[in-house]
Structure 1
């Protein structure tokens, strides 16, 4: 037990070490980000950057752009410069904090990587010790108990337990073996804890799963999402509009004989442009990816996280997502006059080579009824279940064939051997289906013995989750290989909007394309190679970490916990990202109303607008400084909200819009009125204006 839990404990320690001093490092990084190359990426903050330089120049020489009104222009201009400078620092600090949290997670992942020696298998099956960095895609390697797996790969030989706690945080080892979709993929950096494996390497150095995770979590390759780009363009347009308005004010001020200095004009411009959302926009996007990572999900891009917020349709497998996954044999229902013991004997023979949870449960139930193996296993041959035949079973010595599978598939098998079908089989089939179970028919050669009742259990609370999705306007579609009657019972109990019974891998991609043809965005989960086309087709494809390499490469998200229901949580995070961005944009724009009432009456008292000074600000200088100080301080004040996100509520788009306008619209108008007045009182008290 200690061997398994140690990596998890180390990982927690690494996270703690990496996150200590996060804010001090972020504050230092905020000054580094003042380089013009970085500032150009954000047009709103770049304008503030230019304004800071101009006010710094007029602090040195107040009359650089003409005569500056006022008693002590250097002090006033200097205070404006300092406030604008810290506005830039606070905006960069928000982004640096978000990036720092990602880097802390990246450091935790990077600690799992280490150059090690690998046992490379040569063509003659001898081994050669090489550095893990020398391994290439297609190489075969051998790992034994205690080894760190040196590279991503697929298991092609052996059965062993692998400790994946370095990646997933879970200490329980996972059984890995070849030829299965859910247990053949291994990740470099994990540890083999028993036996040995032969692995075929699937990634070149620097291109492995952990390498990609580090790059994406760290944010080095982060590009702006479509919504983020659209909002940036909108903010840039608003900034240009205010820039044109401010550019016309000198002419107006000369006409009304109320001259305005260049520093005041810049202060007015910065106060009116949407600096709050401009400073927090990047941090919101980075924090969205970070929140997904905290759910142990790795997103390949911010685009994937954002797409979750726009999802219209969820396509979900029944088994493991809606139901608990491990269907258990509950009852044997006999037909054609066979006894329960005879049926148990056939059930045992059909499942003796079946290692699935369902197969093992059938063996257990058969043995409880007294069945025993009455043939030599070495002389028998097991047949695995296939989606094409929808059957599995055993070829016994003497040419005897026992099969179990979907009722219609067994019917076809019996007909092909000139067997007879009776109404009893259909009655048993319907009985199990109406109970919401999965019926498996059993036959020996051309004689049907009965139906196995496999019991499905709906996951607790899943119906409420689907009800939340429905209130948000998201359609849920359940895919299952079960017959239509069983599927309809499960669908009704779970509360999904639609279902597809007897689904094949082709049906998955077909339902996705059908929804997309109607202009909808679709999300789905998968773990097998046959899921890869559908995962690639979906707007959001979530692959299970326990799945195949093909599924992981086709998806744009990987769930390290391999929990299919997490797709619902991911959609919630995507919605929260969009809600947060919209809420802070609303708040930022609403702030302009109060700042307008603070500055305009103060700089144009001669033309009769002083009546608009409803806050009763002390002087022109205190009004301008108060508005600018509020404008700077509101950015760090909103960083926690930008990073954690606005609390998610399962509401429709119209309800969310109304709620945002009420809370962040009205709040964005009222809050600055109060804050600017308080700051004005403090400034006046200390004699800065």
Structure 2
């Protein structure tokens, strides 16, 4: 098994292959185990130790026959692995094991043929037995480490209730659904495809997809994600993506890509494993030469060499990082933390400053109009709301949503707008009732009539937009956005981990200062346009900070790309934030904290595994070579195999203990 490709075991075919390999190792182990008692009973060394003078004509040939079967059948995975590594010119663990058991077998067979010396068939048998057991346990651990991703794949429902043009419902395979189809989702069922609710309302359980533990209330017009579990309501959903292009399918592919990615830590482990292979072969040869020259005999020298080579197998080292990668990436996806870039994820431990976008991350992102006023006699306050609503009708911006909601509550007809254009970072403009109208931010009106006066009258926590008619400020609308309850805890936890927090927003200084002070943040940048965010990130980096930037992945793309760690927040079902190394499904600031803490925990697991895998060899190699031989301490090849297998199991168990703290 090639551990560097361990992460590819996710498709149904590869899972079947992996399960077949586990069964194969189990079968070989039990077969060798059944032959072990007769091999031990026929071994002269064992009989000598037990003071049993048992022998019969041809016993040595029977011992050779049984041991040959064990070598060829039980040792076949290691011998074929050795051959594959030699063909690839990439010697590794299988090279060491294959070489060790071949030397042990050839020497022992030669003693039966007449070479003077004592065979160690029993050691060959126990060595192969323990190596088979170790690989069997290890492969089960590898399968367990990837099980979280397999569970994600299995979340997808296989059937759907397709609503035909005549209104009749037909049972179809979910895989046949296409964009534009309508499906019926009954209470307690899984949603078969991504879509938008056309009729009905319900609470959906999305915990396995987004990490959100509480059911989410969904009504007509809301987006739904395939595999989410419906509550008590009956829903009719208009499909927006086929199951193959669904959010869950893309998450699974994203996880696979991230697991295949080679981070610096993995490259370090691979390099260390290659060097350990070379060191093991050289150490084995030096050990053999030393003891043979020392006069301990050929059998003793070979036994020491075999023990050194076996005990130095870079098995645990080869698994140290891939097991943690498989576990961490799948666990992250289950908790709404989608890792696009492994290095960015591991670099989360180095973050010294975290830059937050305000709207929708630290705040709820749902603006409500708290006051509105006209500043020109020609317009009433209701006119100001009507003009603003006319421009904002097609926008999904939180401010637009707040204005449209207020207009609906006031029962004001918004009117129609023409030539509507978005002004990046400033607002929106168009033509309403033959007049040039704009809804813009405070910094856009400082040079216009009546703009500056109202700019000074913003209340803390408010966001102010101006309605400009024919280049004159006709009025203003003040909206308020509530701070998320989770934001304070998130900022507090970041400070406890020595991470400074900075607010970066296009909002005015009064609002930014109010939010930053309320949350206890270290710094804030206000009235920053999208293209200026990049410069602010550079400014912080120039001060020696290791900066993480949170943004929506679209307007903040340049800043996300510039940041040392880019985190796209609140992307929902849109996970195509190409510039971000990490995508968070929810906008909850606690998820950002979870990400950083989980990144640190993941890195700790990797380092713990690497230290164990290398430290074990530092201690075990001298013992295997026989440095304490005169003190009566000598490891047999079987004991070396036990220690090597134990180190692998420790690494696997340690990786399995990784958890996401929410």
TM-score, with length taken from structure 2: 0.67
- Post-superposition Cα deviations, 1:313-354, rounded to whole Å, max 9, x if no partner, equal 644311232234335555x4979799xxx7689568856977
Q: Give 2:653's aligned residue.
A: 640
* Equivalent in 42, 61, 66 of residue 109 of structure 2: 61
Contact 1:284–1:642 (8 Å) recurs in 2 = yes
Structure 1 residues 486 and 29: CA distance shift in structure 2, 3 A? farther
Instruction: Tell me the CA shift for residue 43 of structure 1.
Output: 5.5
CA contact (8 A) 1:215 1:221 kept: no
Determine the C-alpha separation between the residues in 1 that align with 2:138 and 2:229: 42
Distance 1:513 1:29 in 2: 56
Among 461, 478, 482, which residue is 2:489 paired with?
461
- Name the CA shift for 1:241/1:319 in 2 (closer, same or farther; >3 Å): same
In the alignment, the residues of structure 2 paired with residue 248 and residue 602 of structure 1 have an alpha-carbon distance, to the nearest angstrom, of 13
Preserved contact between residue 531 and residue 551 of structure 1 (Cα < 8 Å): no
What's the counterpart of residue 74 of structure 1? 121
Gap change, CA 1:252 and 1:163, over 3 Å in 2 = same
Tell me whether 1:49 sits opposite 2:97 in the alignment.
yes
User: Structure 1's 531 and 463: CA in aligned 2 closer, same or farther, altered over 3 A?
Assistant: closer
Q: CA deviation at 1:407?
A: 2.5
Q: Aligned to 2:296, which of 250, 255, 258? A: 258
Alpha-carbon separation, structure 1, partners of 2:614 and 2:425: 61
Aligned residues: 572
Give the equivalent residue in structure 2 for 1:295: 335
Tell me whether 1:172 sits opposite 2:207 in the alignment. Answer: no
Q: CA deviation at 1:626?
A: 4.4
Q: How does 1:204-223 map to 2 (within 5 A)?
A: 206-215=244-253, 222-223=260-261
Equivalent of residue 505 in structure 2, options 452, 477, 480: 480
Q: d(CA) in 1 for partners of 2:504 and 2:99?
A: 58
Aligned-pair distance for 1:461? 1.6
SS in 1 for 2:146: helix
Contact 2:338 2:582 (C-alpha < 8 Å) held by counterparts: yes
Decide which of 422, 431, 441 is 1:406's aligned counterpart.
441
Change (3 A) 1:219 1:100: farther
Q: Tell me, in whole angstroms, the C-alpha distance in 2 between the residues paired with 1:427 and 1:234.
A: 63
User: Does the 8 Å CA contact 2:387/2:414 hold for their aligned counterparts?
Assistant: no
Question: Alpha-carbon deviation of 1:481?
Answer: 1.6
CA positional deviation for 1:134: 5.6
Q: Quick one: structure 1 residues 67 and 249, their matched pair in 2 at CA, closer, same or farther if it must change by over 3 Å?
A: farther
Contact 1:334/1:343 (8 A) holds in 2: yes
Q: Does 1:573 align with 2:601?
A: no
- After TM superposition, give the deviation of residue 228 of structure 1 in Å: 0.6
For residue 620 of structure 2, the aligned residue among 590, 595, 598 is 595
Alpha carbons of structure 1 residues 306 and 50: separation in structure 2 relative to 1, 3 Å = farther
> After superposition, what is the alpha-carbon deviation per residue over 1:203-239, rounded to whole angstroms, capped at 9, x for unaligned?
6x74443333345557897354343123211221133
Alignment-derived partner of residue 634 in structure 2: 620
1:197 deviation in Å?
6.4
User: Match of 2:356, SS?
Assistant: strand
Alignment of 1:516-531 (within 5 A): 523-527=548-552, 529-530=554-555
Match of 1:501 among 498, 507, 526: 526
User: Compared with structure 1, are the counterparts of its residues 536 and 140 closer, same or farther at alpha carbon in structure 2 (3 Å cutoff)?
Assistant: farther
Q: Cα gap change, 1:251/1:310 in structure 2, threshold over 3 Å: closer, same or farther?
A: same
8 A Cα contact 1:386 1:392, kept in partner: yes
1:83 — aligned with what?
130
- Secondary structure at 2:488 match in 1: coil
* Aligned match of 1:585: 610
Contact 1:437 1:454 in 2 (8 A): yes
CA–CA distance in 2 between the matches of 1:591 and 1:512? 43
Instruction: Give, in whole Å, the separation in 1 of the partners of 2:116 and 2:545.
Output: 58
**Are residues 271 and 66 of structure 1, via their aligned partners in 2, closer, same or farther at CA, if it must alter by over 3 Å?**
farther
Q: Do residues 244 (structure 1) and 282 (structure 2) align?
A: yes
> What residue number does 2:12 align with?
none
Task: Specify which of 106, 123, 148 is matched with residue 153 of structure 2.
Answer: 106
Contact 2:354 2:501 in 1 (8 A): yes
Mapped partners of 2:535, 2:219: distance in 1: 33
- Cα pair distance change 1:423/1:243, threshold 3 Å: closer
Instruction: Report if aligned partners of 1:26, 1:100 keep a CA contact under 8 Å in 2.
Output: no
1:325 correspondence with 2:365: yes
> What is the CA-CA distance between 1:132 and the residue it aligns to?
6.1
Aligned partner of residue 288 in structure 2, secondary structure: helix
- Against the structure 1 CA distance between its residues 488 and 639, is the aligned structure 2 distance closer, same or farther, given a 3 Å change threshold? same
CA deviation after TM superposition for structure 1 residue 255, in Å:
2.1
Instruction: Report the Cα distance in structure 1 between the residues aligned to 2:312 and 2:327, rounded to whole angstroms.
Output: 26
RMSD (Å), alpha carbons: 5.3
Relative to the length of structure 1, the TM-score reads 0.65
Shift of 1:482: 0.7
Q: Partners of 1:548 and 1:592 in 2: how far apart?
A: 47
CA distance in 1, matches of 2:113, 2:220: 74
Cα distance, 1:98 vs. partner? 0.9
Q: Do the aligned residues in 2 keep the contact of 1:543 with 1:551 (CA within 8 Å)? A: no
The reply on whether 1:388 has 2:413 as its aligned counterpart is no
CA distances 1:234-275 after superposition (whole Å, capped 9, x unpaired): 221133123212212222222221233423312122324554
Q: Matched residue of 1:316: which SS?
A: strand
